[in-house]
Amino acid sequence: MQQIIFIVLTGIVSFFAYKKFSQIYRNIMLGKSSDMSGDAAQRWQNVIYVAFGQKKMFKNWIPAIFHLFIYVAFLFTQVELIEIIIDGVFGVHRFFAPFLGGLYTLIISSIEVLSLLALVATFVFLYRRNLLRVPRLVKSELNGWPKLDANLILIGELLLVTGIFTMNGADSVLQGIDPTHYPDTGRFAISSWFGPAIFGGMEPESLMFVERFGWWLHLLVVLGFISYLPYSKHLHIFLAFPNVYFSKLTPRGEMENMPEIMNEVKSILGMESDTSATSGGEMPEFGSKDVFDLSWKNILNAYSCTECGRCSADCPANLTGKKLSPRKIMMDIRDRATEIGNNIASGDLKYAKTKDNTDIKTLTADNYDDGKSLFDYISREELHACTTCNACVEACPILIDPLEPILKMRRYEILTESAGPGDWVPMFTAMENGGCVWQMPVEREAWRAEV
């Protein structure tokens, strides 16, 4: 009976998780193709140091250590999860124990020690978020769902660790009562003394129930996690790795070139240009108005964001009270991509562009138009406050680049809409007419006469 429930439940969860994760993949791919040039060896090096090694986390020791506890505990617990799946499908108990012997004791003991450390870390994180109220963890963009999301994950973590210790603790007592069904696993680091202390003296039937309760709790939390992840900032546990791999390798100070404009300007200046790359008369849209005009890497960045807010804590605009928050930019891009993805998945033709094409049969990313854009999420005031100082880029532990989409949206505003801050108009005019940021009455080289 337990086997059937296990298989059906795991199957259903896997099916829906697969559907949901494919949808996230499609949402990311709403973006444009992106330059992947650069050394693959450098990319792998980043994955090893920054993703696996958490190198950038350690700029801030306290959260880094506690995060490391949870991270390593998570990685190690996967071993136990494999056993749970085998046990669940075949109706066996602690499948690996007889094969591994002393090594099994060591592995499970390590998991127990790590789980305990993760438990401590979870309490520390709940404390930092809800009582200590670390500024970056209580900023306004976290109000509502993001705040609840963060706490739900931590509570899930508590349940998971409770499950592990209940299961192992009851098991250690049962090993003394019924060695045929509960074979000796050796003494686990924590549950071997914790189990007897809590569950010692209980009836065998109650103990078996407690053991099963722990086992199922562990499993249900894991299945819950898998179903929940696609809706949560916690997606970073998977996406951080590809995100780091695909991160920008070109110089930090280099903004992506726009060959269409370069060639256009070259032909205006009478220089030799690659005319195939020009816009060919029709006025195209430049910059980014919506997620379709971002690169898929920008959207991957957005889905990888853990909302830790290190970017916003270091942002000079944000810390002097301006509306700009690099974290919010990433959250907005993600939410907009999700909105579009869900609308497209609904197939409802009210989201189709009717202007140029009246006989649309199916809704796709190409004919999508819901009358909204990223500018409905991100205000111009936010975009205009950026100093391009790269503090946010530097701060992100998983190499997210919040600056690139900001600059792409500025490009849209200036190049496509001819809008933007009025203060910039005299600067543009001076640059265009006099080749200088200020309109100057004297010659550029006048100073040299005074040396």
**Which residues contact another protein (rule: CB under 8 A)?**
59, 251-255, 257-258, 261-262, 264-266, 268-269, 271, 286-287, 314, 316-317, 319-324, 381, 384-391, 394-395, 407, 410-415, 420-421, 423-424, 426-428, 431-432, 435-438, 440, 442-448, 450-451
113 vs 249, beta carbon nearer another protein: 249
334 vs 410, beta carbon nearer another protein: 410
Minimum distance of another protein from residue 252's CB (angstroms):
5
158 vs 427, beta carbon nearer another protein: 427
110 vs 390, beta carbon nearer another protein: 390
3-state secondary structure the chain: CHHHHHHHHHHHHHHHHHHHHHHHHHHHCCCECCCCCCCHHHHHHHHHHHHHCCHHHHHCHHHHHHHHHHHHHHHHHHHHHHHHHHHHHHCCCCCCHHHHCHHHHHHHHHHHHHHHHHHHHHHHHHHHHHCCCCHHHCCHHHCCHHHHHHHHHHHHHHHHHHHHHHHHHHHHHHHHHCCCCCCCCCCCCCHHHHHHHHHCCCCHHHHHHHHHHHHHHHHHHHHHHHHHHHHCHHHHHHHHHHHHHCCCCCCCCCCCCCHHHHHHHHHHCCCCCCHHHCCCCCCCCCCCCCHHHCEHHHHHHHHHCCCCCHHHHHCHHHHCCCCCCHHHHHHHHHHHHHHHHHHHHHCCHHHECCCCCCCCCCCCCCCECCCCCHHHCCCHHHHHCCCCCCHHHHHCCCCCCCHHHHHHHHHHHHHHCCCCCCCHHHHHHHHHHHCCCCCCCCCCCHHHHHC
148 vs 437, beta carbon nearer another protein: 437
282 vs 359, beta carbon nearer another protein: 282
Minimum distance of another protein from residue 8's CB (angstroms):
52
Minimum distance of another protein from residue 15's CB (angstroms):
45
Minimum distance of another protein from residue 244's CB (angstroms):
18
Minimum distance of another protein from residue 249's CB (angstroms):
13
Minimum distance of another protein from residue 1's CB (angstroms):
58
